Structure 1
Amino acid sequence: MIRYSNPSLKLENARQNSGKVAWRSPSNIALVKYWGKYGLQLPRNPSVSLTLSASYTETTLAFLPRQQASKARFDKKISLEFYFEDQPAPAFEAKIEKFLESLLPIFPFLADLHLEIFSHNSFPHSAGIASSASSMAALALCLCSMEEVLFGTTLTQDDFYQKASFLARLGSGSAARSIHGRAVIWGKTSKQWETSEEWGVPFEALHPIFEDYQDTILLIHEGEKSVSSRAGHALMNQNPFSAIRYEQAHKHAVLMLEALQSGDLEKFIDITEKEAFVLHALMMVSEPSFVLMKPNTLRAIEAIQFFRQQTQIPICFTLDAGPNVHILYPKSYQERVLPFIKSELAPLAHHSKYILDQVSEGSIALD
């Protein structure tokens, strides 16, 4: 159960304390995709992801009593200033304010504070690299840390991360998977692994080959997506293939977990690439339909599959809800794969940009 703040602690502590907390949370790449939701940010099907390392958001949350803040907004439930890359970001601030208002039943003390949030990305936002996942995960962890600073309460590490994952999910579904490292499951599966729709659960039975798995992200397009993930999820409610998709995703989740446990790269590649194609096919048959892939996305996919066929190297691709291509391969093949990426794939990227990334241990608190 998620532990709520004690309302009796609310006023006295929040009115007298100030401080600052900071977290770094990585993005994640879903292998089995979450597409379609119900209720309060709950997934229609389970998803399985790998947590990344170099693609992350750093968030600093400064807080002080409203009465002591020169810019406190007493006409609103939440008094907030939000900065992205050190610049005011009104559109993001409005979203964060709405999110924090929704958390007042859990964190009633938020109404007595003035908050300053500073957020930085190591990668382009809104381009299909799950920036909302890393940003909401970092913010959720900051909120949990702030609660401990204000009230001196402590949770076990497992309970702390579970609560943060629960909160992050309320802001962005895929953020539930960015709290933990390595491989994460979110959503119920038909197998007896520990899973939940409320929060992400780390997959502890991960085969060693996946612990440092490489993900080179080819930045085909760095601009904002033409259709947001939130809008795309909503279109699944009328998608004629949604029921078939949810059934398929449940099967794929079980098969993927088996592959991650056994180290079966052939099964891993097969499911990973099918899931990428299915995600974008669902977009194309939505009403209205939309296409997030670019011509160079398809060229990169063809090149990766041809390279795998010619060399027998277990390299594969996946896509998030955007045009950029995630190139997945074991670290032991890095010396053979990187020259291929530089010579054949980088020219397909915008300004030849790509991010060298790999599986990480997850979120970390910052001094």
Structure 2
Amino acid sequence: MQHSIQSNTTWKTPSNIAIVKYWGKRDVQEPVNPSISFSLSEATTTTKITASPSEKGGFTFLLDGKEQGSFDKKIRKFLELAQVRLPLIKDHFLKIESSNTFPHSTGIASSASAMSALAFCLADLQHQITPENPLDISEVSSVARLGSGSAARSVYGGWNLWGRLTEIPESSDHYAVPVPVSVNPVFQKFHDDILIVKSEKKPVSSSAGHALMNHHPYRNGRIKQAHDNTLNLIKYLETGNLEGFIEMAESEALSLHALMMSSTPSYTLLQPNSLLLIEKIREFRKTKDIPVSFTMDAGPNIHLLYPDEYQKEISGWQEKELQPLCEKSRIIRDNVGNGPQKIINS
């Protein structure tokens, strides 16, 4: 039974970085191809929702303490989709207060952390109102997906898979699952240093980019590529195959941006310094024989990937060679994280 009460909850959830990319969707936020990512530790969103009884429902959204009307349309659409599963949305006014540890709308999957935090808060509030309904992580993942596809993968720590594969029975287009293998230690403490090339809002949103895949000339080939790469990446994660991982991570990143550049209309999110950083990373790997690699989300920023044991060697080189190419020398140093966390006494 639904009871209207005033309550609040706060959750901190991570962004994630996909190695096999999700690009293109169908129906209600279902992926056309599977993807694998790992959740980050430092790039997070913290969201507090205060729910007050209201026959009309409604919400207000504050980012870093300020009202942000530009996000209202996206949040309203999400709440309309989610209220079927979370009926408290219909009869409570929601004060949503959110903050990020990293710039939004620049290709660091801020929507993944934002929507997963929103989903956890709403599911938690629903559980408080109807305690007989447990807080189910698969359901939270499925709700988060309604706001942002990649948010489905931000409900766990570690490495996660989203998208149905016949070879993996537990996989689903509706929610993410942890990768179905024991991840090799080399990938359990993996680093992701985000090299901020440009922190301004990108000119083409990910939603618009996904839509351009509907009639993309390489759509079918991309779906097969992602399917094969997903199965191979699971093997690499289990065996600790760094060489295979590096080749795939970089191919996937460049494939993602190639899809943008070959869509109609075509566009690019890469900046000159994005390409310079890629060159420097590949040169360093070749000359030093250190397994450092890169990936990118749908934006200009470069994610520097490497095992924990090489942190010392990479740190000096990064400061000297890479940092000067970053906007205001900004680097967000991150690594595989433990996943969402409920904040008590917020």
Tell me, yes or no, whether TM beats 0.5: yes
Name the counterpart of 2:232: 255
Contact 1:213 1:330 in 2 (8 A): yes
More deviation in 189-198 or 99-108? 189-198
What do the CA deviations read for 1:77-122 (whole angstroms, capped 9, x no partner)? x311110110001121232122112222212232111110000000
Among 77, 90, 97, the alignment partner of 1:111 is 90
What residue number does 1:97 align with? 76
Alignment partners' CA distance in 2, 1:345 and 1:285: 29
Name the structure 2 match of 1:324: 301
Aligned to 1:147: 126
Superposed CA deviations along residues 26-80 of structure 1, whole A, max 9, x for unmatched, are 000000000001011000000000110100000001011127xxxxxx4xxx311
Q: Is the 8 A contact 2:86 2:123 kept in 1?
A: no
State the partner residue of 1:66: 54
**Equivalent position SS for 1:178:** helix
Two-structure CA RMSD over aligned residues (Å) = 1.1
**Aligned with 1:124 (options 96, 103, 118):** 103
What does residue 145 of structure 2 align with? 169
Counterpart check, 1:359 vs 2:320: no
Matched-pair contact (CA < 8 Å) for 1:189–1:253? no
Q: Which runs of 4+ in 1 moved over 3 A?
A: none
Aligned counterparts of 1:308 and 1:139: Cα–Cα separation in 2: 39
Q: Secondary structure at the match of 1:123?
A: coil
The aligned counterpart of 1:315 is 292
Are 1:306 and 2:283 an aligned pair? yes
- For 1:102 and 1:47, the matched residues in 2 are separated by 23
Give 3-state SS (helix, strand or coil) of 2:193's partner: strand
Instruction: Indicate the percent of aligned positions where both proteins have the same amino acid.
Output: 42
Q: Separation in 2 of the partners of 1:190 and 1:276?
A: 25
Aligned length: 343
Q: CA deviation at 1:217?
A: 0.4
Q: Distance in 2 between matches of 1:341 and 1:189?
A: 38
Query: d(CA) in 1 for partners of 2:256 and 2:247?
Result: 15
1:190, 1:205 → 2: CA distance? 20
Residue among 196, 199, 209 paired with 2:172: 196
1:40 aligns with 2:40: no
| 1:312 CA drift (Å) | 0.7
Q: Which residue number in structure 1 is paired with residue 45 of structure 2?
A: 57
In structure 2, distance between residues paired with 1:338 and 1:154: 47
Code of the residue aligned with 2:319 in structure 1: it is K
Q: What SS class does the counterpart of residue 132 from structure 1 fall into?
A: helix
Deviation at 1:189, TM superposition (A): 2.4
Match of 1:82 among 57, 61, 66: 61
2:97 aligned counterpart, secondary structure: strand
Note if contact 1:147-1:153 (Cα within 8 Å) is conserved in structure 2.
Answer: no
Of residues 181, 184, 199, the one that matches 2:157 is 181
Amino acid paired to 1:53: S
Specify the SS of the correspondent of 2:156.
coil
Within the candidate set 324, 335, 339, 1:347 is matched to: 324
* 1:24 and 2:12 are equivalent in the alignment: yes
Measure the CA separation in 2 of the matches of 1:287 and 1:147: 43
Query: What TM-score do the two structures reach when normalised by structure 1?
Result: 0.92
Q: Which runs of 5+ in 2 are unaligned?
A: none
Q: Provide the rounded CA distance (Å) in 1 between the counterparts of 2:53 and 2:243.
A: 56
